[in-house]
Amino acid sequence: MSTFIVERHMPGAADLTPEQAQAFTRRSLCVIEQMPGVRWDRSYVTQDAVFCIYEAPDAGTVAEHARRTEIPADVVTEVRAVVDPAQASG
């Protein structure tokens, strides 16, 4: 299983209503139920984009999830390493 960052260009993403965000969430989870091996960890919303963290077997599976949900996945990037502050101490 690999981790992927999905960049979704969505102008005005920060202005989504709670109801709109809930609709996206439900649609995503409904599709994930039909795709074993896919897990959505979380998403970060910026002004004009949403960055989602997924675990999946490969990038093609993440793209297929986006196609089925009809939510854009403009860039799908595999995470190769994680760096965090804990590494500074040793």
pLDDT of residue 39: 97
The residue extents of the domains of the chain are: 2-83
Q: Which tens digit of pLDDT belongs to each residue from 2-46?
A: 999 999 999 999 999 999 999 989 999 999 999 999 999 999 999
Pair of tokens at residue 11: 């102008």
Q: Which helix (H) or strand (E) holds 54?
A: strand 49-56
Q: Give the Å distances, CA to CA, from 64 to 22, 45, 59, 71, 78.
A: 21, 21, 9, 11, 15
Global confidence as pTM? 0.90
Helix (H) or strand (E) holding 68, with range, is helix 59-69
- Residues 36-90 have pLDDT tens digits of 999 999 999 999 999 999 999 999 999 999 999 999 999 999 999 999 998 888 6
Q: Which CATH number fits domain 2-83: 3.40.30.10, 1.25.40.10, 3.20.20.80, 3.30.70.3090?
A: 3.30.70.3090
